[in-house]
Chain A
Amino acid sequence: MSDLLQSAKTAVDLAKKSGAQDAWAAVSRDRSVSLIYRDGKVEKVEESTSRGLGINLYVDGRYSSHSTTDLRPDRLAGFIKEAVALTRVLQPDPYRVIPDPALFKDRPTVDLERVDPAVAKLTREQREAWCAEMDAKAHTDPRVISAESNLFSGESQGAAASSNGFDGEWSGSYLGYACTATVREGEDKRPEGSAMAVGRFIQGLPEPGSVAALALRRAVERLGSTKGPTVRTTMVVDPEAAVSLLSRALAPLSAASIQQGRSYLAGKQGQKVFGDKLTITDDPLLPRGLSSRHFDGEGISARRMPLIEAGVVRNYYVDTYYGKKLGMAPTSGSASNRVLGLGNKPLAALIADVSEGIYVTSWLGGNSDATTGDFSLGLRGHQIKGGKIGAPIGEMNVTGNLAALFAKLAVVGDDPYPYSSLRAPTLVFEDVQFSGT
């Protein structure tokens, strides 16, 4: 048994000794290194190893959750004892019980390839060399004022144990690099462009220099940006920008939102809410997936789950607590990897099919109302004229309703964004309201 699992079991025992009927504890340890390089030299190096413990307590029908980074045995015992005492003064909640052990069964064993041993062996020299490569690439244009390159990596281990028979362990590694280039425009303006790549394995990531080249290209493409017109037109969303748009649309699938009446998707299971082109599956078992897992935070064994099929809402993210309140069987309370049903053309080909429209490269601020689905987002991008990417535009908003917007999803690309657990491709929407001049 690992020392982490032993610590989790010890915490559960302490809770039971203090009077809890049930407890769930998780312990984790992370090592992370970050190197920031700017304009020819190292600017900041951060390196640390961190650990912590979280514990959920079930005491006389009451519930609380706690976390601490002070793991000295005497402090931890006092902390848990106090936490149990605190729980006793709350009110009994009939819906709150420790997850049913039946949910722990049939845990998958497929190798998720979460750990690349090479990440832990990266040397400072290698990290600096990669940053220097990005920095050099980002400075290949005379208009660049400053460029910041960041290399970040880490390894983590964790373990969880419960008083009703759960135990499980996990580990993971990651390596990422990011670059931001800032260029001068006129007297005061300094538009910037960014790009990043991240993965669990070093192998498969693009060359650091190509990430910097993309950041530089994006910065240069911002030069001469103006405010576009107020117009209703076609919107093409870049895969990277589609990640957060889809994430907003899907957040109200949680049972907590639905039970609290704060979801525009409440009561829509089995109904067609979105366009035919939208099919999304939650897939926790993707090898090397950024959010792949064998079980979720409640110990529920992982399985693939259709979320949306050809526009029809199939499943919600149901945890044990809100599931019980709603009378719904638990699925999982949290998202893993989300994979879309793909079309057959990449971004460039899809733009070529649009005679007039706006290509959104990134969002700036904005928000949405999960209860009604109303949204309004700031954006940057380009005009599309005659199937070609035109002048850069910015300082504009797009406004509407998420259900109505995705009902008008016309085309899905074949080019999923690989550096997010939500692998969004290019999305094309018709008849979208933009605000500009």
Chain B
Amino acid sequence: MPQTLSRRSFAALSTLGLGLPGLLAGCRGTTKAGSTTMIPGEHAPLADHLGWFSVDKPTIARVMSELTSRGADAADLYFQYSRDNSITMEDGIISRASSSVDQGVGLRVVVGDQTGYAFTEDLSLEAMLAAARTAAGIAHGGAARGPVEFKQRQRPSYYALSQPWSDIQTVQKLPHIERLNALARKADPSIHKVTVSWADGEELVLIADMHGNIQTDIRPMTRLWCMLTAKKGDVTQSNSANLAGRHGFDWYTEERLQFLADEAVKRTMVLFDARRPPAGEMPVVLAAGASGILLHEAIGHGMEADFNRKNTSIYASMIGKKVAPDFVTIVDDATQDGERGALNVDDEGNAVEKTVLVDHGVMASYLHDSISAKHYKVKATGSGRRESFRHSPMPRMRSTYMENGPHTREEIIASVKKGIIAETFTNGQVQIGAGDFTFYIKNGWLIEDGKITAPIKDINIIGNGPEALRNVTMVANDCKLDFGGWTCGKDGQSVPVSQGLPTTLVSKMTVGGENV
């Protein structure tokens, strides 16, 4: 949480590698040509990573040299292995499970602001060289100088697990799933259907660039969903809640399961009494937590430097300008422990940070990947991300939130004569150039004469980014990040993100609603 930053452990890479053999538990004993068998503690972590992908430094250097044979300002190889598992309980039985394995390498060449990209799932030298030649086709010059040797930098650790997911057997997960199902089912006699969906996974990456930097990471992810349908007479309502993060098995305590069941039940049952607010412009109070979706859509995307480099963002000429009141500070932060948006290193191998987007009301910095950092002659902000080895990286958000402000939630609600509170959300979108953004409210409340009077549901909010920032009139001191998981889509690539907000008042936005 922004206001309660926990202590970080800047562990050396060697301690991080301990989880690796576990990641490969299913494949122990498989010896590959030119590689090593994974035995805990026997190899240094980098060697483990290289071994997993059946590559060594000379192989990487050979592929890199092919990749840069027609010239390059930047070039990198992104090796990735990921394994995901899911289990579903529906109609009272644990009726299905799934698993998936994905592995490959993405190869990128950058010349100026031109990019050549190819990938292969086949990690043989021949296949990688062929992909390198394809990617190199973008360039038309002489060979660039390749790295003399590859070196690893130390990096922080924001999501080391005591036990990797691959060490957890399916049978260990089942009692948690059954428990959540039971908690939700017994919460209210109107609950008609319960679906519990469990997901966990781990991703192993190795990133090598033409300057000789090599970086590794192991990224866990988990999510637990509780979806409900309730019936009262002939009216049916459904809703859901989920918990998500880069956490391990031990994160799922009885308290968390109870919290999730309560949250899903509360969000569903309130729909029976909820209605549509009146349509039109009105003050919108954004409840602490998930309302960070406002920042993500209204400003976050517009601050991704690729849009600004291409001059297509509404924020392209606003750095250094006053865009919001003094008490508004907005950050995008890779360093929040266990968050979906946390990263130990970005997908270009760059160091990560907490980037201040708006500093006390003044537009401070874009989110940069290597290409845009070079263009703007600044340091990359560790924001280069990609969905997988199939995609080239671009500037993306991580955990986006607003720092605490001077007001209280009570003051904010009391100040609104007629408006709404936005509490839970399903999705949002933005038009980068025009600045129009939207988010969809699943649950909320009507405020009349400074008091919460009735629940509302299913309305879209639409506003304009710079205008909404100007109209932030009050910010409370209760910032929290949403406990549910968010996935951000851009140019066909999805990446996990987090978002948060203190209770915030925007004095005017257009609320979807119905006037009788």
Contact = CB atoms under 8 A, between A and B. Distances in A.
Given A44-B392, A47-B118, A145-B312, A189 B433 contact: yes
Contacts of A51: 121
Interface residues of A, number: 84
Interface in B112-132: 113-121, 131
A70 B105 CA distance: 12
Interface string A347-369: 00000000000000000111111
A230 B515 contact: yes
Interface stretch (A75-83, A114-122, A199-207, A208-216): A75-83
A65 B312 CA distance: 43
A45 B137 contact: yes
B93 A91 contact: yes
Contact of A399 (B236, B426, B460): B460
Residue from A49, A124, A190, A398 having most chain B Cβ neighbours under 10 A = A190
A1 interface: no
A418 interface: no
Contacts of B102: 68-70
- Name the interface size band of chain B: 35 or more
B114 A394 contact: no
A106 B62 CA distance: 54
Given A43-B115, A395-B510, A378 B429 contact: yes
A103 interface: no
Nearest to A366: B460
Interface string B478-507: 000000000000000000000000000000
Given A44-B115, A191-B433, A395-B436, A69 B514 contact: no
A433 B95 contact: no
Given A70-B121, A366-B512, A435-B510, A188 B318 contact: yes
Contact of B433 (A70, A182, A364, A397): A182
A230 B434 contact: no
A375 B310 contact: no
Contacts of A268: none
A188 B466 contact: yes
A157 B514 CA distance: 49
Nearest to A180: B312
Nearest to B461: A397
A75 B137 CA distance: 33
A11 to B, nearest CB: 13
Interface string B196-239: 00000000000000000000000000000000010100001110
A135 to B, nearest CB: 13
Nearest to B112: A41
A90 B310 contact: no
A93 B510 contact: no
Contacts, number: 261
A398 B460 CA distance: 8
Contacts of B229: 260-262, 371
Contacts of B113: 43
Contacts of A435: 279-280, 462, 510-513
Contacts of B195: 260
Nearest to A54: B100
A190 B316 contact: yes
B59 interface: no
A125 interface: no
Contacts of A188: 314-318, 435, 466
Given A378-B460, A397-B510, A436 B280 contact: yes
Interface string A241-264: 000000000000000000011100
Interface in A74-114: 74-75, 78-79, 82-83, 86-87, 89-93, 96
Given A43-B113, A51-B121, A261-B192, A364 B515 contact: no
A286 to B, nearest CB: 26
A341 interface: no
A310 interface: no
Contact of A189 (B119, B169, B314, B429): B314
A208 B457 CA distance: 43
A272 to B, nearest CB: 18
| A-side interface mostly | strand
Nearest to A374: B458
B55 to A, nearest CB: 15
A304 interface: no
A46 B427 contact: no
A41 B264 CA distance: 51
Given A68-B102, A230-B279, A366-B512, A395 B464 contact: yes
Contacts of A400: 514
Contact of A372 (B135, B237, B438): B237
Contacts of B392: 44, 46
Given A47-B118, A230-B279, A397-B459, A91 B429 contact: no
Interface string A207-241: 00000000000000010010100101000000000
A69 B174 CA distance: 27
Nearest to B279: A435
B510 A227 contact: yes
A46 B460 contact: no
A189 B137 CA distance: 36
A192 B316 CA distance: 15
Interface string B310-339: 111111111000000000000000000000
Contacts of B169: 89
A385 to B, nearest CB: 21
A283 to B, nearest CB: 28
Given A64-B96, A261-B231, A372-B237, A190 B460 contact: no
Interface string B80-124: 000000010011011111111111100000000111111111000
A109 B420 CA distance: 57
B383 to A, nearest CB: 18
B458 A190 contact: no
A96 B313 CA distance: 50
User: Lowest 7 CB-CB distances: which A-B pairs, in order?
Assistant: A365-B438, A397-B512, A190-B433, A376-B512, A365-B429, A435-B279, A261-B229
Interface of A: 38, 41-52, 63-71, 74-75, 78-79, 82-83, 86-87, 89-93, 96, 124, 145-146, 148, 182, 187-192, 222, 225, 227, 230, 232, 260-262, 266, 325, 364-372, 374-378, 380, 394-400, 433-437
7 contacts: A46-B117, A47-B118, A191-B433, A261-B236, A365-B462, A369-B457, A399-B459
